[in-house]
């Protein structure tokens, strides 16, 4: 049976969050810790040494995913696992991803301090390249673990500067020997900030996440013709940036047409040659569309492609759209979701059933193991931003619910 009175040390969890913020810390109080950079190596080494100090052993697989294992009474059983990621966006905050790792660390610390040995081994996982900000798409290495991507295709990915993923993984010393995916899991729980406003608006501390909405990513190239800005008449221009601006507006209109569940985003644009007196001859940009219903995502895709092609034709430019990521909607294991909800209620919280807007490693883990997530609020729903903020009590609440869910899984699975 689980120990109903066991609690995590909220002060120690908060101290860990503030301490790890120095790895890639920015002047504005955020974090720039891109995957497979020196800053990523630093936080990985902190993570490994801290877990080892709590009696864990560390293994690393061929994609750099890290597993901190605390033995159980029956080590032939597959582990109950927790995890998230340590990498950030270029202008990331202190809590996205790392809260799930350090919340799991707080669980390990609570078990150690209580002298409690679980039936299953307990493992804490750091997944490589969840963000997808340096190497696209996101969640690549949990994706390899779950069989979504092949190891080789991810190793061969390159960032915008041309650096190869596999080479960068070796350069920081984290290409391990265990074959990615060759690692049994009994259940997986991921604690995360909501990255949206719903919990805060509804005045709830805990979200019991039932699943993740469907999402698709695209890379778009628009080609017109470079021309002198002073001597090329407006009717004779083939302005790639002008056409692109109309496509950005069209995407927003399409998402609004499928509100409230739909979102559409252009998050990256490159304008070429990017000179103040040259009509832009080429642009490159990304498209991100999401909705909890996969049929709506498919409809949005058809609509934006039709609109984009019409805009390109009217503007005298050519268009190339490449689909780079398709993540269907995910429904988490009902037993694990209920373990989260039960744990929250035992702690005195009224859990809100919620669907995740962002993608998470848990979305891929759900394909190979019973999985659930725990959300806590973030101020104004702000994330992927240096001003991202939560309270110490919210972090502590989420980690305690994680502890309760893990102990329930250990006693019932």
DSSP letter for 179, please: P
Tokens at 240, concatenated:
């790639």
Sign of the C-alpha dihedral, residues 113, 114, 116, 118?
A: negative
Segments in 6-75 forming alpha helices (H): 10-20, 38-53
Helix axes 10-20, 38-53, angle to 10 degrees: 150
The answer to whether the beta carbons of residues 98 and 86 sit under 8 Å apart is yes
CA distance 189 to 339: 10
CA distance 68 to 60: 9
Which residues line the annotated binding site?
85, 96, 131, 192, 384
Segments in 258-333 forming alpha helices (H): 294-315
Residue for token pair 């309760």: 404
CA distance 56 to 184: 17
Phi, psi of 330 (to 5 degrees): -120, 140
Residue for token pair 């997944």: 127
Closest CA to 177 of 276, 51, 64: 64
Cis peptide before 346 (omega within 30 of 0): no
Closest CA to 254 of 218, 291, 284: 291
The answer to whether the beta carbons of residues 77 and 135 sit under 8 Å apart is no
- Output the furthest CA–CA distance in the chain (Å, rounded): 80
Three-state SS annotation for 91-152: CECCCCCHHHHHHHHHHHHHHHHHCCCCCCCEEEEECCCCCCCCCCCCCHHHHHHCCCCCHH
Sign of the C-alpha dihedral, residues 352, 353, 355, 361?
A: positive
Which residues line the annotated binding site for Zn(2+)?
85, 96, 131, 192, 384
């Amino acid at each position: 049976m689980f120990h109903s009175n066991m609690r995590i040390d909220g002060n120690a969890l908060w101290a860990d969050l503030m301490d790890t913020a120095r790895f890639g810390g920015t002047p504005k109080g955020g974090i720039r810790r891109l995957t497979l950079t020196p800053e990523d190596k630093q936080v990985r080494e902190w993570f490994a040494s801290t877990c080892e100090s709590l009696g864990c052993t560390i293994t690393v697989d061929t994609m750099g995913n890290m597993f901190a294992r605390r033995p159980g009474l029956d080590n032939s059983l597959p582990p109950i696992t927790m995890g998230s990621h340590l990498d950030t966006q270029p202008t990331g905050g202190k809590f996205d991803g790392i809260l799930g790792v350090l919340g799991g660390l707080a669980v390990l610390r609570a078990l150690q301090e209580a002298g409690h040995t679980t039936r299953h081994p307990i493992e804490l996982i750091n997944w490589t390249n969840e963000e997808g900000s340096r190497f696209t798409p996101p969640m690549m290495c949990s994706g390899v673990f779950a069989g979504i991507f092949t190891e080789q295709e991810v190793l061969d990915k390159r960032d915008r500067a041309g650096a190869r993923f596999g080479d960068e993984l070796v350069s920081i010393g984290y290409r391990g020997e265990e074959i990615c995916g060759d690692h049994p899991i009994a259940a997986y729980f991921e604690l995360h900030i909501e990255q949206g406003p719903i919990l805060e608006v509804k005045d709830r501390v805990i979200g019991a996440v039932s699943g993740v909405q469907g999402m698709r990513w695209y890379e778009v190239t628009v080609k017109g013709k470079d021309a002198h800005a002073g001597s090329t008449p407006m009717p004779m221009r083939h302005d790639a940036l002008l056409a692109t601006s109309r496509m950005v507006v069209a995407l927003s209109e399409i998402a609004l047409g499928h509100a409230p569940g739909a979102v559409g985003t252009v998050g990256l644009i490159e304008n070429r040659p990017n000179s103040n007196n040259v009509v832009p001859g080429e642009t490159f940009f990304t498209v991100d569309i999401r909705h909890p219903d996969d049929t709506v995502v498919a409809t949005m895709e058809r609509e934006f492609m039709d609109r984009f092609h019409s805009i390109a034709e009217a503007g005298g430019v050519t268009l190339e759209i490449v689909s780079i990521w398709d993540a269907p909607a995910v429904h988490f294991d009902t037993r694990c979701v209920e373990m989260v909800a039960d744990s929250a209620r035992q702690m005195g919280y009224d859990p809100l059933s919620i669907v995740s807007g962002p993608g998470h490693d848990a979305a891929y883990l759900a394909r190979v193991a019973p999985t659930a997530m725990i959300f806590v609020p973030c101020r104004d729903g702000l994330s992927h931003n240096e001003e991202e903020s939560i309270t110490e009590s919210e972090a502590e609440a989420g980690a305690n619910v994680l502890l309760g869910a893990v102990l329930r899984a250990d006693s019932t699975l």
